[in-house]
Chain A
Amino acid sequence: MDYFDRFAVPHPSPAIYASMIAIGLTMIAVVAGITYFKKWGYLWREWLTTVDHKRIGIMYILSALLMLFRGGADALMMRAQTAVPDNGLLDGQHYNEIFTTHGVVMILFMAMPFIIGLMNIVTPLQVGARDVAFPRLNAVSFWLFFMGAMLFNISFVVGGSPDAGWTSYFPLAGNEFAESVGSNYYAIAIQIAGIGTLLTGINFIVTILKMRAPGMSLMKMPMFTWSILITNFIIVFAFPVLTVALALMTMDRLFGTQFFAMANGGSDMLWANLFWVWGHPEVYIVILPAFGIYSEIISTFARRNLYGYNSMVISMVAISTLSFVVWAHHFYTMGHGAMVNGIFSITTMAIAVPTGVKIFNWLFTLWKGKIVFTVPMLYSLAFIPIFTLGGVTGVMLAMASADYQYHNTMFLVAHFHYVLIPGTVFAVLAGFTYWWPKMFGFMLSEKIGKWSFWFITISFNVTFFPMFITGLDGQARRMYTYSESTGYGPLNMLSFVGAIGLAIGFALILYNIYWSTRYASRNISNDPWDARSLEWATHTPIPEYNFAVVPTVDSTEAFWDSKKKGFKLFSGKIEKIHMPNNSGVPFILSCIFFVWGFAMVFSMWIIAIIATIGIFACMTLRSFEKDHGRYISVEEIEETENKLRGAK
């Protein structure tokens, strides 16, 4: 019996038992449902083994939505707990676990995958390619992310959640203070997902640099593609740092090494540094693609080309470079001297300059534009002022000496939500709505979309603005409760009300998907928004080969020119197309990774070793396999093309 004790939750509560039952029942229902409708074959052929970038993108987005609701449930619990002083809804330990999983889930398993999903769907289309450079590797990326996310998510019902914050500082996350397996989950689940992300980074750099349509020089790429290119460079150079940091953490926790322990020469500050050398670039990994999405949407719905193309590109390059040299601003108060703090203060504030350039470029694009107020555009317009508030408070935090005042208060929490939500979350919601018709062949309801937009935008401010005030008043972050005499009560109650409003807004998005799937018109054109870049130049639904004939490009907005100036996009004739074969290996490999991860979390060495052998066996298999892909014949392409053309 002792053996099984470690799988028990160390700190259970009725809510956790209820979730266990709910998870169990959902799983049974899903399996039963698929079996009943005889969908296993379909699932395996069309999704689990797919290497098509569009489908992989859709799976990323579905997982991200799932994680949005998981992270959202955590958030609601936190706001409910702090809504009134001396509340007893959650105890300190549960609160710690919840803010930890909330942070990890939202950044790593919601924001990043959502962005990677959109980039999977859109980037190859925007550059006029038939798929990414390494389609099968792309499937490996997705499944590793997915398995990492699942491993992390089972922590709260099997063995206990991590509780040392998403930053997982040492010594708090060491064995001494984090006794449960929770922090093992943190180190290993993120590691698995992180390897997937790194592979994505390599894949998309090669795709964008080497597979662009003829005529599309770098300075003729759409702005979204530019943002993705730069983001993937950040991924390639930042994620290995995380890989190492997590590996050292794993060794400290499982194999008794001394990296972050103070007793034998280790350094807890080493963790903080490694974490933020990855962590600060990470926040730019999720914000730069958002900038790209806004650039596309704003120019589409202002009916103008993007103002200041060159300065947009230069500012993104500047931001990405600077993002690697500001990390210490996350721990000004942890004891480095005035000199170090001074330098990091300056580099941090410098980031505001290129960011400001971008804000002005968007404003100038809007200036004299004929603005169409669609849902994606509303998010983009709301983004500008709210994000600016986040940026300005960032500059406040960047002043090292002033930061001693509000470091680790709710002011900081307000800052990063003011950049992350209007920045990343609004952007993915806008991009999701904008590209939805291309993905699924019908539009989401604008009416329901506007309702959710207003709910989300207003509630966002109601939730987070009060935190600026309580933070300046001294309310510390990550505290599970406070006494009545502090006077924080009313504003925290307001935050709770806002959080409920946000939940309603997100629920409305789900309702919108449901409603539009049932009732929206399927009779839409290939280009329903009257947009400007190549992804709109192909059919809806997109054939698996994307473009029957590879487009030729001679400006940043060749598709727009083809509509307005009669530019000829497709001049070649149809030839047979080479496509990669589906493969089950990425999925199976990632399942083995899941088993490996689980075994590592619980120090079950024999299983871990067997799984490691399994992983290498998959790689060996791949090395010896001969797979030259397949060809789609000209007749087949013509038939598909005629059918798709006829549908319109």
Chain B
Amino acid sequence: MKIDSSLPLEYSTEENRLKIFGFWIFLGAEIALFATLFATYFVLVEGTGNGPSGEELFKVPTLMLQTIFLLTSSFTIGLGINAMRLGKQKAMLSFFVITLILGLGFLGVEIYEFVEYVHEGATIQTSAFLSSLFTLLGTHGAHVTLGLFWGTFIILQTKKRGFTPETTNKAFIFSLYWHFLDVVWIFIFSFVYLKGMM
């Protein structure tokens, strides 16, 4: 393995550079995926059938809580990567742990929200609008869930092996993923919730 020490560790080998580039392409595919889900949602948003509409369903407090959790976590993971670049393992690990805790908080609120919806009689089967809403939010939530596991694995590996080209590469790619989920959330925030409440 040739290590180019003029570059940050996560970029230092050929394999690492390929992985980061490949992940960017993968995010391109993810954009296409979420774009399709958004398009589906926009097509079906009026299709409330006998069920409730977004206006009746969406609530400000849970929305704000979710948004704060996720946006902050995007900030903390940025700090984590910064610490990684500076070679500060402890700081990096702490920021990653905080990130995941915030992610867990986000997920908790989302699950709470889903349970509330179901209690109000709004299930994924009620109407096309709700099917598309649950699917869009659920896909994002599933991504966050996956991220929690993935992030935990990276923390464990970094703890055990320290900063190596491999672990830093994984951590960096994970941060791209996490930021991406944040971007998707901003779209959900604006085009699903805000638009729905107006």
Contacts and interface: CB of A to CB of B under 8 A. Distances in A.
Interface stretch (A252-260, A347-355, A477-485): A252-260
Given A206-B22, A274-B40, A265 B128 contact: yes
A248 B36 CA distance: 11
A240 B33 contact: yes
Given A265-B49, A270-B44, A243 B33 contact: yes
Contacts of A203: 22
B48 A265 contact: yes
Contacts of A624: 153, 157
Interface string A256-283: 1111010111110010001001000000
Interface in A216-267: 236-241, 243-245, 247-248, 251, 255-259, 261, 263-267
A133 interface: yes
A571 interface: no
B29 A210 contact: no
B29 A267 contact: no
B56 to A, nearest CB: 15
Interface residues of B, number: 40
B32 A265 contact: no
B21 A209 contact: yes
Contacts of A93: none
Interface in A405-447: none
B36 A241 contact: yes
Given A133-B22, A255-B124, A240 B29 contact: yes
A236 B35 CA distance: 13
B63 interface: no
A244 B37 CA distance: 7
Contact of B36 (A134, A205, A210, A244): A244
B94 interface: no
Contacts of A620: 149, 153
A564 interface: no
A266 B150 contact: no
Contacts of B127: 258, 264-265
B86 interface: no
A460 B65 CA distance: 64
B72 interface: no
A203 B29 CA distance: 12
Given A198-B29, A267-B47, A624-B157, A258 B131 contact: yes
Nearest to A580: B15
B95 interface: no
A39 interface: no
Nearest to A257: B131
Q: How large is the interface on A (under 10, 10 to 19, 20 to 34, 35 or more residues)?
A: 35 or more
B50 A259 contact: no
Contacts of A201: 25, 29
Given A237-B28, A258-B125, A206 B135 contact: no
Nearest to A241: B36
Contacts of A623: 150, 153, 157, 170
A134 B26 CA distance: 13
Contacts of B40: 244, 248, 259, 270, 274
Contact of B17 (A210, A236, A257, A263): A210
A595 B72 CA distance: 40
A284 B108 CA distance: 44
Given A259-B40, A267-B44, A241 B131 contact: no
A578 interface: yes
Contacts of A244: 33, 36-37, 40
B126 interface: yes
Nearest to B134: A257
Contacts of B44: 259, 265-267, 270
B62 to A, nearest CB: 23
B110 interface: no
A257 B135 contact: yes
A258 B49 contact: yes
B30 interface: yes
A578 B149 CA distance: 31
B124 A266 contact: no
B46 A265 contact: yes
A628 interface: yes
A210 B43 contact: no
A202 interface: yes
A429 to B, nearest CB: 31
A550 B33 CA distance: 38
A205 B18 CA distance: 11
B1 interface: yes
A77 to B, nearest CB: 36
16 contacts: A198-B29, A201-B25, A201-B29, A202-B29, A236-B28, A237-B29, A240-B30, A248-B131, A258-B47, A258-B130, A259-B131, A265-B48, A266-B131, A578-B1, A616-B149, A628-B1
Given A240-B36, A243-B33, A258-B128, 19 more contacts: A133-B18, A205-B25, A206-B25, A236-B28, A237-B32, A239-B29, A240-B30, A244-B36, A244-B37, A248-B40, A251-B131, A255-B125, A257-B124, A264-B49, A264-B128, A265-B128, A267-B44, A623-B170, A628-B1
